Structure 1
Amino acid sequence: MNEVPLSVLFGILAVLIIFSGFFSSSETGMMSLNRYRLRHLVKNNHQGAKLASKLLEKPDRLIGTILTGNNLVNFAAAALATIISQRLWPDNPDLAVFVNTILFTLIVLIFAELTPKTLAAIAPEQIAFPASPILLGLQWLLHPFVWFVNTIANGLLKLIPIDTSNTNSDHLSTEELRTVVREAGSMIPKRHQHMLLSILDLEKMTVNDIMVPRNEIYGVDLDDDMDVLVEQLRTTQHTRVPIYRGDINNIIGILHARSLARVMSQGEFTREDIEAASREPYFIPESTPLHTQLFNFQKNQRRIALVVDEYGDVQGICTLEDILEEIVGEFTTDVLSASSPDVHPQEDGSFIVDGTAFIRDVNKTMHWDLPIAGPKTINGMIVEILEHIPESPVCLRIGRYRFEILQLKDNMIKAVRVTLDKPRKTNA
């Protein structure tokens, strides 16, 4: 080495530093790749992505190859730097060792570690894809040594309760996927984000959360007078109407507007004609998750279902449109419908709310955060908190909402006044 010019030694040292930076940046780049984007590029036959994906199939072998190459280069560079420092200060070996340690550490830290790794973290694809063919070649070349080192390392890992065979960490939970959608920013339009989050929320909701309650079901009683029956059929605004006798629990079928038009076009018709034109009813349990019921509607080719409780009594109606509205929003362009018909703003800043209003609907329309874990309606929520049906108007507070009962009828709270606490001013 004493015969080799210092310029050559410095050149070799620079090349070793570059190689060290290559290994450092390739390690960070490979580990920073977005696995989902990588799979997308592989499907599009991106050559660099294919090679990177092949390397990442066995991360222990990849890391072993990178670390082996990096350590070999670093040790060689350290030895060479020691030789250079000794030739620069032959009369003072202690100074040579000191200066070599300080300068070599700074050079490696800046040019072989910090800068390459930062660059690779910012642009992993630009670093990892070009490095993939080189790493594959080195993996084949260093395979015996890497295999030996990995065997020892995996043996040590077996002493720890960690499953080294399970290297797939790409699975996302529902909450993690929800976070991904929220953090997508401008990559996903706001409306699309809302729809995706609504789809994820379907599994947390049941048909009981969105059904039209029993007392609001519009149906036709075949036991009514014929004149009343005809008038109901002519004036109905619903496409599908439940047909029953006497009581909604005695349901006969669902009459479609198309079948109704065919029956009424005959001129004179009887109750038997109406019954014959209706389709058999479709019953579902009230605890059915919405995402399950959506597929059930598709499987059974139905659009409306009667919701029953554990005793078989009809509790309400759920339609395909009700579920779809949970995903895409209300099917309406009416500006007036943007405000809830159950909530009426007052001049003093309070709100008159219908006691039968669904809490979820009120929360969605007014951007409130009333509890939805228990009862579904305002009336049910207040009664549950009071633990009795009030006999006279009372006031109560639920979080930041003050409720004043205004009207009671038939053991139900018909109307309440809701006042929101004003936000407290904080001293700057």
Structure 2
Amino acid sequence: MGDALGIIILILFGALFAMAEISIAASRKIKLKVMADEGNDQAEAVIRLQDHPGRFFAMIQIALNAIAILGGIIGEQTLTPYTSQLVALVYSGPLAGQISFVLSFLAITSLFILFADLLPKRIAMIMPEAVAARVVRLMNGITFALTPFVMFFNSITNLVLRIFNVPTVREDIVTTEDIVAMMEAGAQHGSLQQQEYQLLGNVFELEGRTLSTAMTTRDAIVYFDIKDDNAAISAKILEHPHNHFLVCDGHLDKLVGLVESKQLLRQLLKGESTQLTDSLIDKDLFYLPETLTLSEALNEFKSAAQPFAVVVNEYAMVVGIVTLKDLMSSFMGDLVTFQGEQQIVQRDNNSWLVDGATPIVDIMKLLDIPEFPNDNQYETVAGFLIYMLKRIPKRTDYINHAGYKFEAIDINGIRVEQLLVTRLSEPESDSTIDSSQVS
């Protein structure tokens, strides 16, 4: 009876140490920090233990090996008499002793594998942070009690690791890939709503997208010439009711400043002739290089109290303008709909009308296309078509890529205004070009 109780006690201790080992190793530092911030002292103790785990794992191995050895000794002595009686019922030959021993060994091993190993480790893996917080203080106490043995084995382990140039301390560096993987897991589980998942994904995209993917391009900028008369100014305001307009001297690359439309409307309401006088023109323009990411542009807007920024290239030529609303639209994605013409319009389940200026990253997200060839060479879907054709597209020119057909359907001069994107019935792995259209 005493030996049976000893086996039960050893199994319980084995289960305790197995749970402690797995839970402390599997606990996520991010969740532990949240628990610690909420006042959980045990979670803070787990974090400290994870930062310097050597002594803890040395203690665990000492304890588990001691339990395994004692379990084998006590178990064989306890179960062999019973297995001998069972074997004697069916066999009494010269191998009866060996058979009884094998049965005792299998029985005690099965008990330890099931109740001291598999079950406790499964429980610890299911809720590692909760289990680790409950056992950490007890484990620290046992480690302290076994200090001489722990220090001996831990020192030898550290020496071997240093010989092979292996770090002795774990470094928890959370990368963007780790966060994205956690987001995807949360979205699949349902703990992260689809809108939250999309919003967080857009945050990471801000670092990978440049201003050219969000700005109003040069050819779409509506501006006043310093020499514009009353009729020209009034017509532009009526046709394009913007809050602010650039003022230029002849062309866009010779900027004078900007003017608020309400200042000009005030003149019109008074019955006065609208004039672009120096008193109305704000000459403090806000410039941003086109190489900035959307995240960097947002930071620049924080320090500059300006309604919009003029985007310039390395040759100081104006390539577009960008407003804070443009940046927020890129950030919010489909969660908020801003007024204005949509760049992508779905015709049916298998085709879309796409503006040529649509950023290629938006196409990748919409159609779930993992990559485009050499996508660092262009920013827009029109740029993709031009890059693949190696020339300015003509109407009906197309490219097949990733199971989709990208066809130019509206060309204005040398500008690709609109494309038709169609899902192919038989997806093609490589990008192909309409050879009949290539000159």
User: SS at the partner of 1:389?
Assistant: coil
Q: Does 1:15 align with 2:9?
A: yes
Gaps (5+ residues) in structure 2?
86-93, 428-439
The separation in 1 between residues aligned to 2:4 and 2:346, in whole angstroms, is 81
Distance in 2, matches of 1:197 and 1:42, equals 27
> Compared with structure 1, are the counterparts of its residues 198 and 378 closer, same or farther at alpha carbon in structure 2 (3 Å cutoff)?
closer
Provide the rounded CA distance (Å) in 2 between the counterparts of 1:332 and 1:274. Answer: 37
- Residue 30 of structure 2 corresponds to which residue in structure 1? 36
Q: SS of the counterpart of 2:134?
A: helix
Q: Is the 8 A contact 2:360 2:381 kept in 1?
A: no
Other structure's SS at 2:326 match:
helix
Measured in 1, the distance between the counterparts of 2:365 and 2:156 equals: 61
Question: Following superposition of structure 1 onto structure 2, how do residues 28-427 of structure 1 map, counting pairs within 5 Å?
Answer: 28-85=22-79, 94-95=98-99, 97-165=101-169, 167-169=170-172, 171-185=173-187, 186-233=190-237, 236-257=240-261, 259-260=263-264, 268=272, 271=275, 273=277, 276-329=280-333, 331-332=336-337, 340=342, 343=345, 345=347, 356-360=356-360, 363=363, 367=367, 369=369, 371=372, 373-389=376-392, 393-399=395-401, 400-406=403-409, 408-422=411-425
Query: For residues 99 and 352 of structure 1, what CA distance do their matches in structure 2 show?
Result: 74
For 1:159-199, what per-residue CA distance to the aligned partner results, in whole angstroms no more than 9, with x for missing partners? 2231213x122x22222222211221222211111111001
Compute the TM-score of the two structures, normalised by the length of structure 2: 0.82
Secondary structure, aligned partner of 2:254: strand
- Where does residue 4 of structure 1 map in the other structure? none
Letter in 2 for 1:223: K
Structure 1 distance, partners of 2:215, 2:98, is 85
1:238 aligns to what SS in structure 2? coil
Q: Structure 1: how far apart are the matches of 2:406 and 2:79?
A: 82
Letter in 1 for 2:254: N
SS at match of 1:158: helix
- CA offsets 1:69-125 (integer angstroms, 9 cap, x no match): 222222222222233356666997645543332222111111111111112212324
1:227 CA displacement: 3.0
CA distance in 1 between counterparts of 2:9 and 2:110 reads 16
Tell me the distance in 2 between the aligned counterparts of 1:352 and 1:51.
57
Aligned 8 A contact 2:289 2:314 in 1: yes
- Name the SS of the counterpart of 1:307 in structure 2: strand
> 2:31 & 2:362 partners in 1: Cα distance?
39
In the superposition, the TM-score normalised over structure 1's length comes to 0.84
Deviations 1:239-287 (A, max 9, x none): 2221212111111222234555666677647645355442511111111
Q: How far has the Cα of 1:225 moved from its partner?
A: 1.8
Q: Structure 1 residues 324-333 or 244-253, which shifts more?
A: 324-333
Q: Could you tell me which amino acid in structure 2 is paired with residue 157 of structure 1?
A: L
Distance 1:57 1:368 in 2: 40
Partners of 1:361 and 1:275 lie apart in 2 by 43
Code of the aligned partner of 2:260 = H
| % identity of equivalent residues | 21
Pair 1:70–1:271, CA change in 2 (3 A): same
Q: What letter matches 1:332 in structure 2?
A: T
In the TM superposition, what whole-angstrom CA distance separates every residue of 1:138-165 from its partner, at most 9, and x where no partner exists? 1211122101110011111122231213
1:417 offset after TM fit, Å?
A: 4.7
1:395 maps to a residue whose letter is D
Partner Cα distance (1:349, 1:199) in 2: 29
For 1:420 and 1:95, locate their aligned partners in 2 and report how far apart those are by CA, in whole Å.
69
Give the deviation of 1:375 after TM superposition.
Answer: 3.0
C-alpha spacing 1:74/1:366, structure 2 compared with 1 (3 Å)? closer
Equivalent AA in structure 2 for residue 315 of structure 1:
V
Amino acid at match of 1:17: I
Aligned-partner SS, 1:64: helix
Secondary structure of the corresponding residue to residue 255 of structure 1: strand
- Note the C-alpha offset of 1:229: 2.1
